[in-house]
Structures are given as C-alpha cells and as structure tokens.
A and B are shown apart, each in its own frame.
Chain A
Amino acid sequence: MGRKELTGKISTLLILLLLTGAIFFFSLLKGKVSYTFSDLFSRKGEADIILLNIRLPRCITALIVGGILSISGVVLQGILQNPLAEPYTLGISGGGALGTTIAVILGFGIAGRVGLSFAGALLSIFLVLLLAQRRGITPASLILSGVIISFLFTSLVLLLFSLSHTREIHEVYSWMMGNLSTLTLHQAKIFFLLSLPFIPLLFTGRELNVLSMGDERAHSLGIVPSRWRLFLFLLTAYLAGMSISFTGIIGFVGLMVPHLLRLAWGENNIFLLPASFLAGGSFLLLCDFLARNIAYPEEIPVGVITGILGSIFFFFLFLKGKYGNIT
C-alpha cells in the first residue's frame, strides 16, 4: 500500500471518528428536552437526571454495541468466508433468548435476566463448538452447527412461551426486538467494562486478511487457520453474546455496516475493522435517537428501526447491481 493510500485511509478514519463524536453528542443532547453543550458541565436539576441517568447510558451502550456488532460482522464474514454471516449466524441469539425467557418466567429482575441471557449465549457457543469440532473448525462446520443449535434453542423458547403468561411473552418478545431504553448508568458502566475485549479485536485485521485468502495461504504465512478461527470466533461470540444480554437482539447492523464500508473502502480488514466500529456505533446511535423520538413519548424497539433502515439499504444496494461484494 502506497503512502498516499495510507494517508488517505488514516484521514478518513479520523473523519469517521469526528463524525461519530458529533453524532454521539447530538444524540445525547437532543430530544424532546434539548440541552446545549454547556449544560453538560453545569449540572442543574433536571438536566442532571435526564442527561446522566437516562441518555448517557443509552448513548454509550449504543455506540459500543453498534461497534461490536459491526466488527463481529466483519470478523465472522472473514473467518466463515461468507458474506451473509453476521453475529447471530452462530446461534448466540437463540441461546440469549432462551436465557432471557427462563429469567423472565422465574421472575428475575434485570441483573438476573442479563446474567441468564449471557449464560444462554455461552451455552450455545459451547454447543456449536462441540458440534463443529467433530468435523474440524471449518467455515462449513461452524455455520451448520450454528444453524442446528439456533433451531434447537428457538424451539425451546417457543415451548416455554406456550407455558407462560401473556405479559411474560411480551417482555421476552420486546427483548428480541432490541431495547436500549431501560439501561441505567450502573448497567452501562458494567457493560463498558465487560466490553473492553473489543479493543484487541480491532487490531486483528492482518490475521483476518490472511484467513480470507484460504487455509493453504494462511499456513504459508505462518498462521494456523483453525486456531485463529477458534480464537476470533470465541472473542466475537463473547462480545456479541454479552451485548445482546444487555440490549436484546439488534439485527442488521452486523450484516449491513461491513458491506457498506467495503463498497467505500475495499476488503482490507486492517482498516475495515476500526472503520466498521465507528460506522456501526454511529448508525446505532442514530437509530436509537429515532427509536426514542419518532413516536415520542412512545418508544419504538430499536431493532425495528435498524431492520427497516437495513432492509431499505440492501434494497438499493441490490438494485444498483453492486453484487461484487455479495456473491
């Protein structure tokens, strides 16, 4: 890569960073009750509570979850060599849903729900690996195992639905549509700490590039593909599973953002990873802003917004004939 290209990519990253920052503060300050930048530092009465306790946890989590889902998409599309791969391909959404359903039925509060949801996601990861490693940790076996485990857990969730109250079903169903509206500052802090492993993931671009070239090439460059696939898979699954425990299932971000950026940036994962993180974070921040303001004071599940915007995007992408990155 020439110096010009490098400078170009770095400056675009910086612009993305600034843009993300702007969107973050826009989302934080604007709403039915709008604040100015200086309000952040003056701490008077109501400003305190709405900004700090309600919007800040929401915005921080949206930024990080959007980023995590996007880089998970990039990584999974790379290691599975499948452009339709995204964080939920490998069954964690089913596991998370089962955990949440059990927690709701048992009457647990938020802490219990997050905990059980994460446990469910971990269980599904474990089962997928158990199943896949019998045939070797290859893209095909991982995807197949993911589908099988996903079906299993979803069926269990539906079984539990058939035995529960309407209210319980509604709550789980809402979780499955994604929800950032009930996050407290305390939860956001915990989430932030638990999500820090995303940072090393941002720097695995080189290995990801090599893995996408096929196993033989990888060996010749000194990278053991199955081990790296396992490591990347585990890290991604942990991050995505942990995210959905806090926010429910937010779809499309992991699928759409990597494709959008590849159109603009090309396939190089070294830059695609940080760029996707920022773009995904910005996208989810905007979607959450819409989710909480479009029908104010009523809230729309954020997963619905990402789904609709994501579908529209893919529709135009398809129309424009930009198949190059999909097939």
Chain B
Amino acid sequence: MRQRLIFLLLFLFIPLSFLAGEINRIVSLSPDITKSILLLGEEKKIVGVTRYSPIHNKPVIGSILQINIEKVVSLKPDLILATKEGNPKEVIEKLRSLKLKVIVLNEQKSIGDVFRNFLYLGEILDKEREAEKIINQVKEKLEKIKEKWKGKTPIPTFIQVGISPLVTVGSDTPLNEMLEIAGGKNIFSHLKRYPRINPEEVWRRNPRVYFVVSMGKKISPLFPPRGVKIYFLSAEDFASLTPVDVLKGVELIYHYLWEEKN
C-alpha cells in the first residue's frame, strides 16, 4: 500500500519537474506576463510577445485582443501564457485544440492577485525563489510607505479614468488598493470595478485630490471641485501590473498625496 502511494506521488511530481525543464519557448499574450518573465530573468525563453510589450527584439503576435494564431503556432512554443481578463476565450480554446499548452492567469482584482499570479509564474518557470524574493521586497517597501502616513487621516481622492464618459475605479481594482496603501481614500470605494458615474456625485463628495488617468496625451479633468489638487497618471503605469509596477505606482501616488506642495 505504501509503495503504491510513493509510486503515485512520484508519478505526480516527475511531470511537473519535467515541465519546468522543458520550457524553452514561451509566447506571452499579455504585457504584464512579459514584464514578469523579464523580472524573473527568463527573457531568453520568450519567443513571442504582444504589441505593446516593453521588449523590442522579439516577434510580435498581435495585440491582447487580436492574436494571430498562425503566427503563434509558427513560433513553436512549449508554453503559451494568457490572461483571463484580456485574451479572448475563443483564441485560448483554439490554441488548446491545436494541442498547444496554454496556461491562463486569473484576473487581477487586487494587489494580492498580482502577487499570486507572479508567484504562479515563478513556479511554472522554476524560479519560485526569485519570485518570492521580489514579492517580499515589494511587501516590505509597501509596509514602509504605510508607516510614513500612519496616524494621519486618509485623503479623500477621486480617480478619473478616461475622458468621456466619466469612469472611476471601485473597490475590486488594484488601483483602489494602491491608493489606500498610499494614504488616500477613494470616494467611490463603495462601488465595484469601473463604474460610469454622475459628475454631480464627485462634486457632492468633495475630494481634495483628483487623479486623471489617461493613455498618451494628458486629458482634462471633468468638473473638478473648487480648490482640488489635480495630478496626472499615465495609464500604462497602472494597467498590466507586476509586483514592481505596484510598488512604483504606490510610491508615485504617495508622492502626489503627501509630498507635492501644489
């Protein structure tokens, strides 16, 4: 009986370790996955990336939504990494039907999710220790930031995402959590995800800080309350998050909240 158990356990572990050893050609279907692989030092294993990735010498297989399946197949990947949030389900299923190995990472609704995905990637690439190290470093620094504003009241803040219509962030988004760690209080934290809201309510809730998150060019804030401090954040820094992006984002928000003498 015990012999059988040991045999069974070995049977389970061996394929996993082989998995890590056999991965040499990875196609990443999302910029955050690409960035994470870079952080873990496995750049050489990447053979295909999406269009807006921070890497310039690798073949591009399309954008997050428009993936060129033929191109992906032609790169002969051992592993394709996808996200539930961004990549279309049909594409993932099609790739799997072609007998390609696809691992799908879950949505990132919180900083915890970002860490979890990063750790999981570390396991897949046999770089668990590196992943843990990076996460712990980030966690430490985040705690230090929390200490810096300890004892003070969080600053009521509004975050505008996009010009038209007026959209903000709700409670189950990483940006909301990042704001809270940095010492801000999202005036719409009682809502969820990315709600489209009535500008009257922004005025009624009287935030003291107003963040405008935009892609590329700066966009104007919509009806900012009188006397509010307005700061601009670049959408690229807050989408597709790795643990390091989270830290950088929190530091930036902290700086605007407490250190800018506007």
Q: Mark out the residues of chain A between 218 and 245 whose CB falls within 8 Å of any chain B CB in the assembled complex.
A: none
Q: Using an 8 Å CB-CB cutoff, how does the interface string of A127-161 with B read, 1 for contact, 0 for none?
A: 00000000000000000000000000000000000
Given contacts A166-B64, A299-B196, A299-B198, contact A179 B203 (CB under 8 A): no
| Other-chain residue from B191, B201, B217, B222 in contact with A107 (beta carbon distance below 8 A) | B217
Which residue of chain A has the shortest Cβ distance to B52 in the bound complex?
A: A165
Given contacts A109-B220, A292-B198, A298-B198, contact A50 B215 (CB under 8 A): no
Q: Is the beta-carbon distance between A167 and B65 smaller than 8 angstroms?
A: no
Q: Is the beta-carbon distance between B215 and A182 smaller than 8 angstroms?
A: no
A19 within 8 A of B: no
Interface segment, B38-46, B70-78, B161-169?
B161-169
Q: Is the beta-carbon distance between B220 and A182 smaller than 8 angstroms?
A: no
A293 to B225, CA, bound (A): 20
Chain A residues with Cβ under 8 A from B225's Cβ?
Answer: 49
B11 within 8 A of A: no
A4 within 8 A of B: no
B112 within 8 A of A: no
A184 to B199, CA, bound (A): 11
A25 within 8 A of B: no
Q: Is the beta-carbon distance between B86 and A166 smaller than 8 angstroms?
A: yes
Q: Mark out the residues of chain A between 103 and 128 whose CB falls within 8 Å of any chain B CB in the assembled complex.
A: 107-110, 113
Given contacts A49-B226, A166-B86, A184-B223, contact A110 B200 (CB under 8 A): no
Chain B residues with Cβ under 8 A from A165's Cβ?
Answer: 52, 63, 215
A209 within 8 A of B: no
Chain A residues with Cβ under 8 A from B161's Cβ?
Answer: 167
Chain A residues with Cβ under 8 A from B20's Cβ?
Answer: none
Chain B residues with Cβ under 8 A from A55's Cβ?
Answer: 200
Chain B interface, number of residues (Cβ within 8 angstroms): 33
A279 to B222, CA, bound (A): 30
Quote the shortest CB–CB distance from B13 to chain A (angstroms): 39
Chain A residues with Cβ under 8 A from B195's Cβ?
Answer: 297-298
B66 within 8 A of A: yes
A50 to B223, CA, bound (A): 9
B235 within 8 A of A: yes
Q: Using an 8 Å CB-CB cutoff, how does the interface string of A175-193 with B read, 1 for contact, 0 for none?
A: 1000101101000000000
B204 within 8 A of A: yes
Chain A residues with Cβ under 8 A from B215's Cβ?
Answer: 107, 165, 167-168
Given contacts A32-B204, A109-B219, contact A182 B64 (CB under 8 A): no
Which residue of chain B has the shortest Cβ distance to A32 in the bound complex?
A: B200
| Other-chain residue from B52, B162, B200, B220 in contact with A54 (beta carbon distance below 8 A) | B200
Q: Is the beta-carbon distance between A109 and B163 smaller than 8 angstroms?
A: yes
Chain B residues with Cβ under 8 A from A33's Cβ?
Answer: 200, 204
Q: Using an 8 Å CB-CB cutoff, how does the interface string of A253-297 with B read, 1 for contact, 0 for none?
A: 000000000000000000000000000000000000000110011
A297 to B219, CA, bound (A): 23
Given contacts A54-B203, A181-B199, contact A298 B63 (CB under 8 A): no
Q: Is the beta-carbon distance between B201 and A296 smaller than 8 angstroms?
A: yes
Which residue of chain B has the shortest Cβ distance to A165 in the bound complex?
A: B215
Q: Using an 8 Å CB-CB cutoff, how does the interface string of B49-75 with A read, 1 for contact, 0 for none?
A: 000100000000001111000000000
Given contacts A54-B203, A107-B216, contact A162 B65 (CB under 8 A): yes
Chain A residues with Cβ under 8 A from B200's Cβ?
Answer: 31-33, 50, 54-55, 292, 297
Q: Is the beta-carbon distance between B164 and A171 smaller than 8 angstroms?
A: yes
Q: Is the beta-carbon distance between A297 and B164 smaller than 8 angstroms?
A: no
Q: Is the beta-carbon distance between A110 and B201 smaller than 8 angstroms?
A: no
Chain B residues with Cβ under 8 A from A184's Cβ?
Answer: 222-223
Quote the shortest CB–CB distance from A147 to chain B (angstroms): 28
B19 within 8 A of A: no
Which residue of chain B has the shortest Cβ distance to A172 in the bound complex?
A: B164
Q: Is the beta-carbon distance between B66 and A162 smaller than 8 angstroms?
A: yes
Q: Mark out the residues of chain B between 116 and 169 whose CB falls within 8 Å of any chain A CB in the assembled complex.
A: 161-166
B16 within 8 A of A: no
A5 within 8 A of B: no
A246 to B237, CA, bound (A): 30
| Other-chain residue from A162, A293, A298 in contact with B197 (beta carbon distance below 8 A) | A298
Q: Is the beta-carbon distance between A182 and B203 smaller than 8 angstroms?
A: no
Q: Mark out the residues of chain B between 85 and 123 whose CB falls within 8 Å of any chain A CB in the assembled complex.
A: 86
Given contacts A174-B165, A182-B166, A298-B197, contact A163 B216 (CB under 8 A): no
| Contacts A50-B200, A50-B203, A162-B66 supplied; 14 other A-B pairs, CB < 8 Å | A46-B203, A54-B200, A109-B163, A113-B164, A171-B164, A182-B163, A182-B222, A293-B198, A297-B188, A297-B191, A297-B195, A298-B191, A299-B166, A301-B165
Q: 5 shortest A-B CB distances, which residue pairs?
A: A297-B201, A107-B216, A107-B217, A182-B164, A299-B196
Please give the residue numbers on chain B whose beta carbons come within 8 Å of chain A beta carbons, in ascending order. Answer: 52, 63-66, 86, 161-166, 188, 191, 195-201, 203-204, 215-217, 219-220, 222-223, 225-226, 235
